[in-house]
Chain A
Amino acid sequence: MSSTPFHLQGRDIWVIGGAGYLGQEVVKQLAQLGATVLCADLGQKAAEAQLGTQVTPITLDATDIPALEKFVSTQIAARSVPQGLVIMTYASTAKRFDDLTSADFDMANHGNLTATFTLARAVGNAMTARGTGSMVLFSSMYGSVSTDPRIYETPMNPNPVEYGVGKAGIQQMTRYLAVHYGPSGVRCNAISPGPFPNPNLQRDQPDFMDRLAQKVPLGRIGQSPEIAGAVSFLLSDASSFITGQNLAVDGGWTVW
């Protein structure tokens, strides 16, 4: 694979929120393409995921800003500045629209935006000093279009407002970071996944899966391995002239 522009041989890539349903697939593919990976997630999630010898699991609560800042400086001292950074963490509540308090909304914005900004700036500044690097932030189709409440049947709660608001913010953060860091050779792009419901939801809500699939031109929900290619592409030299972009991996959800 090292003969193709998609290889990641010799790269160190940090994946924050890398032990989740989509994160694990990303981490696995990055390792297959030759990267060493630092996989950070809450509690013991990263260690329990057992993602292989190229992957170093570590505990991180990205919403804890002092811990986040210490994490970046400690890991740079230990591993050096990474060639790639992938931020897959997010925050939201399971609350209904009318039950959401302003404190809940602040908390979600903190997790989605403040934590992402703090992390991206700390790592981005370090990448700048070296003059190269690629960051991939995770937005969502719900950062571009609204949830359709009609596909959620009682007692399901529609995808909540604070989630999409945060994901829309990620799209603009991506453009800002791209402009800020571009002259230093550091690229920043976003990925907007479409419907990738987790296995429990797939099992428990088969009718909902059909309603989701109906909204996708490709006629089906996404399978978790299908998210990884876009991340690898944006981290690799195959995308060396691409920055400030938001790439939808959504089966066409946002096209119609």
Chain B
Amino acid sequence: MKAFSLEGRAALVTGSSQGIGASIANGLAESGASIVRHGLQNDPSSDSYVACDLSSPSAPVALIEQAFVLQPALDILVCNAGSFFDTPFLEMTDDAWEKTVTLNLRATFFIAQAFARKRVTLGGGGSIVIVSSTNGFQAEADSVAYDTSKGGLVMMTRSLAVSLAPHGIRVNGIAPGLIRTPLTQAWMEPRAHDLLKHYESKILLGKVGRPQDCAGAVAFLCSDAASYITGEIITIDGGLTTSQIGRL
């Protein structure tokens, strides 16, 4: 089925050394795209990989430049890199806030800008997918900086869609709910041991998501099967946010 194929396309997936990003990269590759992966540490097993810390001010532009060296016709960007630095709100530090907005918002903004500038010089076209979170529209206690940054990514997705539509670049997002990744494992461990049970009881489909549950939506959004879709955020949460998460 040609409409869903990504043959001949090339994608950069930020934060793709593990978790959701790695599954997205695998899914795009399965649909036929060539992939440039990115992570914090070097990966000697891959020759199509860029290592950098996106919190550094010059890193977003440098990453895009290197990605276009590896794939000169790069036309898919998945902004997945992000993290969680929150502590209980009354104890939050300047540093934790800065780290959150620098990585989750600033880096995404300037990666998208550098990619779009490059695409425009190549005649336009292409697809961006931004990975936000159900925390972008459904609040959680003691997750204020993270929730704020993900809410920002929801609106960044819509606003970029409007700004880049004249250049034929579609911009969409996914909002994963609770997905089992190294990051969410680290988040759950120090917290109440029944946190996982609480969430599982709220997920209608009865299970925490797997990273690969996010891959299909991204591959779809990047493909011609989604050619009239822009500014959309597909929530992948097994129904978690369809009703209320509520108190633990």
Contact = CB atoms under 8 A, between A and B. Distances in A.
Interface residues of A, number: 49
A29 B10 CA distance: 25
Contacts of A222: 228
Given A217-B231, A248-B229, A179 B1 contact: no
Contacts of B209: 241
Nearest to B1: A1
Contacts of A228: 3, 225
A54 to B, nearest CB: 14
A248 B226 CA distance: 10
Interface residues of B, number: 43
Contacts, number: 150
A99 to B, nearest CB: 33
A226 B161 CA distance: 18
B162 to A, nearest CB: 5
Main secondary structure on B side of the interface with A: mixed
Nearest to B163: A217
A175 B242 contact: yes
Most chain B CB atoms below 10 A, which of A5, A7, A239: A5
A250 B232 CA distance: 9
B223 interface: yes
A233 B172 CA distance: 15
Q: Which 8 A-B pairs have the closest CB atoms?
A: A182-B204, A238-B216, A229-B225, A244-B242, A255-B231, A241-B213, A217-B165, A226-B228
27 contacts: A1-B1, A6-B216, A6-B225, A32-B1, A33-B1, A178-B242, A182-B205, A182-B239, A218-B170, A228-B3, A229-B220, A229-B223, A230-B220, A232-B225, A233-B216, A233-B225, A238-B217, A241-B205, A242-B236, A243-B238, A243-B242, A248-B229, A248-B231, A250-B228, A252-B162, A252-B165, A256-B162
Interface of A: 1, 3-7, 29, 32-33, 175, 178-179, 182-183, 185, 187, 194, 217-219, 222-223, 225-230, 232-233, 236-245, 247-252, 254-256
Given A5-B27, A242-B236, A251-B230, 17 more contacts: A5-B219, A6-B1, A6-B219, A6-B220, A6-B225, A175-B243, A179-B204, A182-B205, A182-B242, A183-B204, A229-B226, A229-B227, A238-B217, A240-B213, A242-B217, A244-B239, A251-B165
